[in-house]
Structure 1
Amino acid sequence: MHTHPLLAVSQDAVSSGRLIPAALVGIALLVVLITRFKVNPFLSLTIGSFAVAMIAGLPIADAISSFTKGFGSTAAGVGILIALGAMFGKLLADSGGADEIVDTIVGRSSPRTLPWAMAVVGALIGLPMFFEIGLVLLVPVIFLVSRRSGLSLIRVGIPALAGLSVTHGLVPPHPGPLVAVDALKADLGLTLGLGVLIAIPTLVLAGPLFARYAARWVDVPAPELYETHANGNARRPGFPVTLATVLLPVVLMMGKALADIFAAEANLVRVVLDFLGTPLVALLIAVVVAMFTLGRGAGMDRQAIARSVEKSLPPIAGILLIVSAGGGFKQTLVDTGIGKLVADWVQNSGLSVLLLAWLIAVLIRLATGSATVATVTASGILAPLVTTLGTGQTALLVLAIGAGSLFFSHVNDAGFWLVKEYFGLSVGQTVKTWSLMETILSVAGLAFTLALSLFL
């Protein structure tokens, strides 16, 4: 039996005959631990990682070093960005800036354009925030809009949820796509540009258009309204200032991408934009600016701003650990040579890389219920393929994985239960609305990604 070349481990002990069983057992173990035994994904990824290494025949010292290397590099690459994003999101919520965006857009909409407005609100609120936090923020607004406009809860709610979800899968600087960008070494600016290009038509299909039909299948009134979540301050930051602050990191990253395309390498403008558009710098600038535009703009004093920033971090500790452990799992798949084996197989099979990436993410999403675990694991399996792909194709690979990670949210996904409970739906009604919406997002995202691949 020939020995497979390894990427990072010099041991000749790992034979290719053991690699596929190692990968299958590792991923199956991950799925069973998360779904059957309800083990925390951080622990599951850590255990799964060592299981892969042992079955593949990797010496234990190398297995530990692989896992810690992947954990550390992911924490450095993505962890800091998640922390900065959480700070930004909390300032947006606590200052009343999120309410300002919602009220302004909804206040200027007619009943006919309201579902479209709610899709825009969902996407804007979703950019800097995790899905769960965005949902908690949006729910009172969805109820209020539904009651005031007389439109069905589903007609108003589905577009807002689609907006939140599409940024989660396709648009950096959201943490999901950032994990894949980091793992696959994709060009962030290009991925962001293509992500927005794909997200817009995908959102139109899964949001306002699908909501029209979903509202006929499931007709539920908005539950009794609880208090709105506005901050206790008398004032709020203005709409133009809030919108500019939310879009600031996106604009800086896009500026870097455009400078890289159109300006010469030594050009001073390009050097400056490259620095400002680095995700870490762009988000750091956004947080500092938000302290003034949102915090001070809402009349918060220094203590209130400091408290807001401080409270943003504890809720994301678990997410940071899960994402970093996912990086460890990815590195183990790479270092045992499993990723290389899959990459060689894909190259020789003639299968579309993008379709395969989407399928792998879909299977892991269906099994574990976690979009983040799906993104991290699929990125790890496909990382060795990147050497054979151009910049544009690598960016599209990130988006294919992101689209796959959204597929058919069901009973093993926390998001499913959040939507069900908040909207007062039965399990069947949640499947007919929320789960179907997620599937449309996923399939449409893949279709538009494949369409773009014809030009790149």
Structure 2
Amino acid sequence: MTRLSVEMLAADAAEPITSAGDAQLGVAVLAGIALIVVLITTVKLHAFLALTIGSLALGVLAGAPLDATIASFTGGLGSTVAGVGVLVALGAILGRLLADSGGADRIVDTILARASGRAMPWAMVLIASVIGLPLFFEVGIVLLIPVVLMVARRGNHSLMRIGVPALAGLSVMHGLIPPHPGPLAAIDALGADLGVTLALGLVVAIPTVIVAGPLFSRYAARWVDVPVPRDLAPQPDADDAPEKRPGFGVTVATIMLPVALMMVKALVDIVVDDPKDGVQRVTDVVGSPLIALLAAVVVGLFTLGRAAGFTKERISTTVERSLAPIAGVLLIVGAGGGFKTTLIDIGVGRVILDLSEDWAVPGLLLGWLIAVAIRLATGSATVATISAAGLVAPLAADMSTTHAALLVLAIGAGSLFFSHVNDAGFWLVKEYFGMSVGQTVKTWSVMETLISVVGIVCVLLLSLVL
């Protein structure tokens, strides 16, 4: 739960770095976001530079000292790259190994042979949901992207028709289903039952992912038609084809290795729940995202690289070639994390929490609204979940076991609402799929909003019958 700990520390940081009033903070946030959008869309400035300038402008307009603003931005950039950047790098290496060895071709051939054109989006959402169950969102993306891009290219499918269902499956799992850090934190804060929350979460997740995934992808494909990015869709060299391709079973097993390691960690955390227990300490290390993905890469060197007849020099070249295309992605995602941390440090989240105390609305809807507001302001789904759960925790004391679990799900749904330029995930999706800011809003941001809205509707309907 390394990322959860980092997010909680950010959310519960000391006093804001500015003493500005609520109105000034509101103007600063709107101006900072508007500046970033204008710099990228009108001035055509690189997103990394736009996010950097926008973060500094945000701090200055909020009345924060420039040195404190710089410290917030660089701290957020560093923690994001440390958490997400290393995973993206490891995922890129694994993706290149899959492509160069012919393993990705083997998977794609199998999928295309067994799923027709109409069934492909449903197959992708199913695969993404299964893989995303124990994984952080970013880990799921770096594991799935090579397969998604190659399925779209080889099957001549619209990238949005294939990519949106996969993203929806990952996002729904991340926001609603334990053992993801957000839902687990909310369960702990509200004293909800994990088993009941998991069961109801699956009930809510199924219609939600259907609407936001395969169904919405039809419209997303009409609104945005982009070619499959070549730089981030690794292809083996035609004149340097492998001697043989690894088998389907061993290729899938290599991809699923980090999934299995994280699943074991999650199950041990639930069953044992003793940080001092030797078994749990081992699984906490082995099942961490960094170690799990690193293990997959190391195993892949043999099950993919050596199985394809690669020499040591060829494997080294493959690893080296995998890292160059992701340099820009890492910088943009890191800058997005810096902007998010600057928002948190100037006290935007705390302002929303203070204002929400006066909202006279039903408990489930209140939890959703607070999570939505914090998500929009800070860009972090985990911070939104933790903060909203802490605020509405007293309401859960008078709720039944079922309704306490529904409150967890309501907060989780709210934490996914309309991802935009202050969310590092927004930039991760934009760069991986080669879209503009406007195209990312039309697809990814709308998809996240659909997940949030359909999720809360399902929760409210369940509350009427349970």
TM-score for the superposition, normalised by structure 2: 0.67
| Contact 1:70-1:330 within 8 A present in 2 as well | yes
> Quick one: structure 1 residues 314 and 101, their matched pair in 2 at CA, closer, same or farther if it must change by over 3 Å?
same
Contact 2:102/2:236 (8 A) holds in 1: yes
Query: Which of residues 232, 254, 271 in structure 2 aligns to 1:245?
Result: 254
* Shift, 1:419, TM fit: 8.8
Matched, 1:279 2:292: no
Structure 1: how far apart are the matches of 2:456 and 2:314? 43
Structure 2 residue corresponding to 1:71, chosen from 77, 82, 89: 77
Once the two structures are superposed, residues 296-330 of structure 1 have per-residue CA deviations (whole angstroms, 9 ceiling, x without a partner) of 12222222221121112121111211122122212
1:74-120 CA-to-partner distances (Å, cap 9, x unmatched) read 22222211211221122122221111112123323467756644655
| CA shift digits 1:12-43 (9 cap, x unpaired) | 74333421111121112122212222222211
Contact 1:106 1:117 (C-alpha < 8 Å) held by counterparts: no
- The DSSP-based 3-state class of the residue aligned with 1:99 is helix
Q: Distance in 2 between matches of 1:405 and 1:49?
A: 17
Aligned residue in 1 for 2:310: 300
Q: Which of 150, 161, 165 is the aligned partner of 2:167?
A: 165
Change in Cα spacing, 1:388 to 1:316, as seen in structure 2 (3 Å) is farther
Give the 3 Å change call, closer, same or farther, for CA 160–59 of structure 1 in structure 2.
Answer: closer
Verify the 8 A CA contact 1:334 1:381 in the aligned structure 2.
no
Query: Does 1:315 find its partner at 2:317?
Result: no
1:330 alignment partner in structure 2: 340
- State the secondary structure of the residue aligned to 2:242: coil
Structure 1 counterpart SS, 2:142: coil
| Deviations 1:275-308 (CA, angstroms, capped at 9, x unpaired) | 1111111111111111111111222222222112
Amino acid at match of 1:293: T
1:61 has 2:70 as partner: no
1:121-176 deviations in Å (ceiling 9; x for gaps): 78779945388765542333213xxxxxxxxx66xx7653334433564556xxxx
Partner of 1:341: 351
Deviation at 1:267, TM superposition (A): 3.1
Residue 141 (structure 1) aligned to one of 148, 154, 170: 154
Per-residue deviation, 1:69: 1.7
Kindly indicate whether the alpha-carbon contact (under 8 Å) linking 1:67 and 1:331 is maintained by their aligned counterparts in 2: yes
Quick check: 1:69–1:328 contact (8 Å CA) kept in 2?
yes
The answer to whether the 8 A contact 1:27-1:48 is kept is: yes
Q: For 1:234 and 1:308, how far apart are their aligned partners in 2?
A: 15
Instruction: Write the distance in 2 (CA, Å) between the matches of 1:166 and 1:267.
Output: 36
Q: 1:97–1:237: 8 Å Cα contact kept in structure 2?
A: yes
Structure 2 counterpart of 1:281, which letter?
A: I
User: Deviation digits for residues 213-263 of structure 1, max 9, x if unmatched?
Assistant: 779x99x9xxxxxxx956611311111111111111122222212211111
Q: TM-score, normalised to structure 1's length?
A: 0.69
- Paired position in structure 1 for 2:102: 96
Q: Distance in 1 between matches of 2:84 and 2:432?
A: 26
Let me know the Cα RMSD of the aligned residues. Answer: 4.9
Q: 1:382 to 1:251 in 2, by over 3 A?
A: closer
Report the Cα distance in structure 1 between the residues aligned to 2:116 and 2:22, rounded to whole angstroms.
62
Alpha carbons of structure 1 residues 398 and 318: separation in structure 2 relative to 1, 3 Å: farther
Q: Aligned pair in 2 of structure 1 residues 136, 258: CA closer, same or farther (>3 Å)?
A: closer
How far the C-alpha of 1:202 sits from its partner, in A, is 4.7
Deviation at 1:185, TM superposition (A): 8.2
Does residue 236 of structure 1 match 2:245? yes
Matched letter for residue 302 of structure 2: F
Q: Which runs of 5+ in 2 are unaligned?
A: 1-11, 133-138, 188-193, 226-233, 394-403, 422-428
Q: CA deviation at 1:7?
A: 4.8
Q: Which residue of 2 aligns with 1:448?
A: 455
Query: Can you give the 5+ residue segments of structure 1 that lack an aligned partner in the other structure?
Result: 1-5, 144-152, 221-227, 365-373, 408-412, 421-426
Distance 2:262 2:300 in 1: 17
Match of 2:267 in 1: 258
Residue in 2 aligned with 1:148? none
In the TM superposition, what is the alpha-carbon distance from 1:446 to its structure 2 partner? 4.2
Q: Which amino acid aligns with 1:262?
A: V
8 Å CA contact retained: 2:372, 2:384: no
Match of 2:418 among 393, 404, 415: 404
Alpha carbons of structure 1 residues 128 and 17: separation in structure 2 relative to 1, 3 Å: closer
1:79 alignment partner AA:
G
- Structure 1 residues 33 and 419, CA, compared in 2 at 3 Å: closer, same or farther? closer
Relative distance call for 1:301 and 1:48 in structure 2 (3 A) is same
- SS of equivalent residue, structure 2 residue 358: helix
The answer to whether the 8 Å contact 2:250/2:303 transfers is yes
CA contact (8 A) 2:87 2:289 kept: yes
Deviation, 1:264, is: 3.7
| Alpha-carbon separation, structure 1, partners of 2:33 and 2:272 | 44
Other-structure match for 1:388: 391
Query: What is the aligned-residue identity percentage?
Result: 38
2:77–2:335 contact (8 Å) kept in structure 1:
yes
Q: Helix, strand or coil for the counterpart of 2:155? A: helix
Structure 1: distance between partners of 2:212 and 2:106:
25
Deviation at 1:341, TM superposition (A): 0.5
Instruction: Answer whether contact 2:100 2:242 (CA < 8 A) is retained.
Output: no
Match of 1:84 among 90, 93, 106: 90
Paired AA for residue 388 in structure 1: L
- Structure 1 residues 441, 72: closer, same or farther in 2, change over 3 A? closer
CA distance in 1, matches of 2:306, 2:89: 21
- The residue that corresponds to 2:135 in the other structure is none
Query: Could you tell me whether the CA contact under 8 Å between 2:16 and 2:345 is conserved in 1?
Result: no
The CA distance in 2 between the partners of 1:247 and 1:109, in whole Å, is 20
Q: Distance in 1 between matches of 2:408 and 2:85?
A: 22
